[in-house]
Structures are given as C-alpha cells and as structure tokens.
Amino acid sequence: MIKIYIVDKSNLKPCNNDLVYCVVGENSSLKMREKALKIYNQILSSDLSKEVNIYNQIKKSNLYTIFVESILLLNYKFEKYKSKKSSILKITYQNPELINKSMIEGVFIARDLVNEPLSFLTADQLAKEIKKYSKKSFFKLETLSEKKIKDLEMGGVLSVNKGSVNPSNFNILTYKHPNSKSSKPIILVGKGVMYDTGGLSLKPTANSMDMMKCDMAGAAAVVGAIYAIAKMKINVSLIGLIPAVENRPGGNAYVPGDVVKMMNGSTVEVLNTDAEGRMILADALHYAKRFNPKLVIDLATLTGSAARAVGKYGIAAMGNASNETIKILEDAGLNINERIALQPFWEEYSLELESDIADLKNIGSAEAGHITAGKFLEHFTKEKEKSAYPWIHLDIAGVAYLKKPYFLSQKGGTGAGVRLLCEFIKNYK
Ligand code: BES
Ligand code: ZN
Ligand code: ZN
C-alpha cells in the first residue's frame, strides 16, 4: 500500500518510508495537477504496490480536491477489447465528500464512447448507450428514428447519412431539476458523426481517417456532462441534442455539387462531403429554437483548422453570446484546465460561404476554416436574419483525441468538454 499525504509545507515531515509520498500543498491548481501527474507516473512505472491511499492534511481543501481528481482522471484505460488487461491503480481517499465522483464518471463515459470503434458504436448503439446512462442518472432520453427525421425534413442529417447502410437518429436528452420550473433551458448540441470517412471527398488513412471514430466526441461530451450534472442534481434545466450519422461513400452517398434543403428551408451547395459536421449541426441548431433556450452551446470535432490553430492545448470558441457568458466559460476553463481560445468572428468570414446556385455553400476558402465553419453554423441559429438565442460554438477537434498521453489524459478519447460544461453550468445556471 502506498500512502500519499497532502500536507502544507509547514507540516512537512521527512518521508523516510519508501511507500509514503508527501505532497506539499502547492499554492496553484496547475502545480497541484502537475504534481499529481508526476506521482501517478512514478507509481505506475515502479514495481511498488498498486494500491494507493490518499490522506488530506491540508488547510486549503480545494487543492486536495484537485490532487485527488487529477489522480482519478489519470487512472483510466480502455481495455474492453484486450484479452490481457494491464493494471491501473486501486485508489482510496479521505474526505470523499470533497471529490466530485459524478464528474469523473461523466468524463469516463465520454472517453469510453469516443474509444469505442464503429464496429460497436453505430448511431443505434449510441442511443442504447445513452438510454443505459439515463437510467443510472436522472435524465430522460427520446430518440427520433430516421423516419421521424424525414418527417421533420432534416435535410442536413439525412444527406450526410445517405452513403451509410445504418440509419441515422436524433437524440434528445432532458434533465430538469424540480425547482427550475420556469427557467428556460440551456441546450447542449453534440456532433455525433459515428465515423467520418470524409464520404466521397474521402480522407486519406494515415493520421486522418484512422482516428475518425472520434468524430462523435462532441456527442460524447454532451452525454457525459448531462449524466454528471443530473447526478449532481444541479438546479438547472438542460437539453441535449445529438444528431447521429455515419459519413460514408456508399452507393447513394451525397456528392460534391449536390444541393441540400435543410430543415430551416435554406439550401446548401455541398462542395465537400467531408464538411459534414456542420450539415448535421445546422439542423440541430435550427431544431433548438423550439425550446426557446436561454443559451445554446454546441461541441464538435468540426475542423482540422481548429486543431491547427490551437493544438491540443485548448478549445477554439466563437459565437454571439454576451461577454459575461463568455467570461464565465473562460473562467470555468481556466479553473478546471480545459481552456477556451476565443476566435475572431467577423462578418467577412461569412461572405466566403456565398454560393452561385444555393443560399450558401458548405465550405469557405483555405484560410480560417474553423471560423467559416462557425459562420455556417451561425446561419442556422438565426430566425429572420436575427439570432434566435445566445450561442457558443466549441470546436474540440484539437483536444478530443490524443495519439499519445498528454497531461491528465491517456491516449485516445480525452472526455474534453465534460468538466468544462459541469464547471460552467454550476457557475452560470
Ligand atoms: N471530422 C473532421 C474534423 C477533424 C479533424 C476532427 C481532425 C478531428 C480531428 C471534419 O468533419 C472535417 O473533415 N473537416 C474538414 C472540413 C473541410 C473539408 C472544409 C477539415 O477540417 O479538413
Ligand atoms: Zn469530415
Ligand atoms: Zn467530421
């Protein structure tokens, strides 16, 4: 058994036993997370016991919380398909009331969903998984079938899924705290492209298509966050909207040059079938209007451009929500170390989406592709040229999936967005 004591500097006693780590309470949350990472890796790579006990002897309990949560976040492996399981740590800790277990569970749910390959996690299976999680928490799920999606004339969702033999669906998650009767809901929209081959604008395999099971990471973040927030019983009204499709180059796949009529009546000239996320999100953002939301946040692995702009160090953010709302989100990101990087959102970018034959086209120029993608989405948040609700778009393409471990995430799905949303909603409501 390894004992980790979180102590204040003044209380630091020498550690003369190999199996005891003393951690000085660092006066910064980032330093505390770094310390957790260092200790976690030390223990895992040593031949010491894999049973760890963490003790709280620090005055500032928030630093204790950060340390334990960081260790718990690190202690994750996706091994469902491994015949031989490798070891992770067995962790127990003092003061469980200081640790947000629901949030960690939410992150792990999102990671599991991202790590699942398409061979298991189709749109149908996603709906089943969400249903399973809804029963373990306090939210409800309604899944619209492809037939219903046709009735609703969600042209964006339908056209992306045309090349797939598996049906699309549209998931509506609802959580309402009993005391939040009159309040307008916050809506979370998640990109659920179960797999993105690029469609007929096919992606190359290496470093591109090979990781595209992660293209539903926005959806995964929404599921994980709503699971956690419902389990924490936060006083809020929340709705999750998840359009789920596969982007495939099948016999009936939509082709570059097609014109698609979207749910809101706009026509889109599709010039690249790989810009599919915005097609399905457009219908979801239009659908959101019927709930008269207080705020809409969408999360999507939308563009390689966002990943190139900020890398794995942050989330590219844009939209039309008030400065106050953005500030709360920025602060939440700094607190839990999922930072957002606000991008310019000038009108000029939307001019790039003018089409010769339709209302707009689905790609802009080679520059600032994440912002023109955002501008495409913005079009569908409007009603009669005016924004229908305050809205923030989070492009998580850079942070959702890792090729090698980075900071508090192992390889694969990171669960990015879950903690950001939990922290934000706690403070915003
Ligand atoms: N799913 C991709 C974006 C992506 C890239 C996610 C890297 C995760 C990591 C998206 O659907 C896409 O293919 N976007 C294109 C848009 C382009 C055709 C305008 C891109 O970014 O290249
Ligand atoms: Zn794509
Ligand atoms: Zn995609």
Q: Which atom of ligand 1 is nearest to the CA of 301?
A: 6
Mapping DSSP onto H, E and C, the string for 365-429 reads CCCCHHHHHHHHHHHHCEECCEECCCEEEEECCCCCEECCCECCECCEECCCCHHHHHHHHHHHC
The pLDDT of residue 15 is above 80? no
- Which residue among the candidates 162, 176, 191, 278 is catalytic per the annotation? 278
**C-beta separation of 312 from 398 below 8 A:** yes
Q: How far is the CA of 217 from the centre of ligand 2 (A)?
A: 13
CA distance 135 to 153: 30
DSSP class of 216: G
- Which residue among the candidates 35, 191, 203, 382 is catalytic per the annotation? 203
Q: Which has the closest alpha carbon to 279: 363, 383, 388?
A: 363
Q: Is the pTM of this model over 0.95?
A: yes
Q: How far is the CA of 276 from the centre of ligand 2 (A)?
A: 5
The pLDDT of residue 22 is above 90? no
List pLDDT tens digits, range 35-92: 999 999 999 999 888 999 999 999 888 999 999 999 999 999 999 999 999 889 999 9
List pLDDT tens digits, range 213-246: 999 999 999 999 999 999 999 999 999 999 999 9
With a pLDDT cut of 70, the percent of the chain lying above it is 98
List pLDDT tens digits, range 180-205: 876 899 999 999 999 999 999 999 99
Query: Is 176 one of the annotated active-site residues of the chain?
Result: no
Question: Which amino acid is it at 110?
Answer: A
CA 13 to chain centre: 42
The pLDDT of residue 19 is above 80? no
Ligand number with the minimum distance to the CA of 399: 1
Q: Who lines ligand 1 at CB under 6 A?
A: 196, 215, 272, 274-277, 301-305, 307, 363, 369, 397
DSSP class of 362: S
Please tell me the predicted confidence (pLDDT) of residue 66.
Answer: 97
Please tell me the predicted confidence (pLDDT) of residue 18.
Answer: 60
List pLDDT tens digits, range 288-319: 999 999 999 999 999 999 999 999 999 999 99
Please tell me the predicted confidence (pLDDT) of residue 59.
Answer: 85
Q: How far is the CA of 181 from the centre of ligand 1 (A)?
A: 39
CA distance 380 to 301: 18
Strand, helix or coil at 196?
strand
Ligand number with the minimum distance to the CA of 395: 1
Q: How far is the CA of 50 from the centre of ligand 2 (A)?
A: 41
CA distance 337 to 341: 12
Please tell me the predicted confidence (pLDDT) of residue 14.
Answer: 66
Please tell me the predicted confidence (pLDDT) of residue 182.
Answer: 67
Query: Is 203 one of the annotated active-site residues of the chain?
Result: yes
Question: Which of 303, 370, 395 for mutating ligand 1's site (highest number of atoms within 8 Å of CB)?
Answer: 303
Give mean pLDDT, residues 274-301.
99
| pLDDT bucket at 23, cuts 50 / 70 / 90 | confident
Ligand number with the minimum distance to the CA of 403: 1
Take atom 8 of ligand 1 and give the residue whose Cα is closest: 397
**C-beta separation of 318 from 345 below 8 A:** yes
For the beta carbon of residue 283, count every other beta carbon within 10 angstroms.
26
Take atom 13 of ligand 1 and give the residue whose Cα is closest: 274
Biggest alpha carbon–alpha carbon distance for the chain: 76
Burial class of 142 by CB neighbour count within 10 A (0 to 12, 13 to 18, 19+) = exposed
The pLDDT of residue 21 is above 90? no
List pLDDT tens digits, range 365-422: 999 999 999 999 999 999 999 999 999 999 999 999 999 999 999 999 999 999 999 9
What residues have CB less than 8 Å from 318, skipping those under 6 apart? 342, 343, 344, 345, 371, 374, 392, 393, 395
Average pLDDT, the chain: 96
Q: Which has the closest alpha carbon to 314: 336, 283, 286, 346?
A: 336
How wide is the angle at C-alpha 170 spanned by C-alphas 420 and 423, nearest 5°? 10
Q: Which atom of ligand 1 is nearest to the CA of 201?
A: 18
| pLDDT bucket at 9, cuts 50 / 70 / 90 | confident
Q: Which atom of ligand 1 is nearest to the CA of 277?
A: 11
Please tell me the predicted confidence (pLDDT) of residue 44.
Answer: 92
Q: Which atom of ligand 1 is nearest to the CA of 362?
A: 19
> CA of 138: how far to CAs of 1, 51, 126, 127, 169, in Å?
36, 32, 18, 16, 22
Q: How far is the CA of 300 from the centre of ligand 3 (A)?
A: 8
CA distance 206 to 208: 5
Strand, helix or coil at 74?
helix
**C-beta separation of 215 from 278 below 8 A:** no
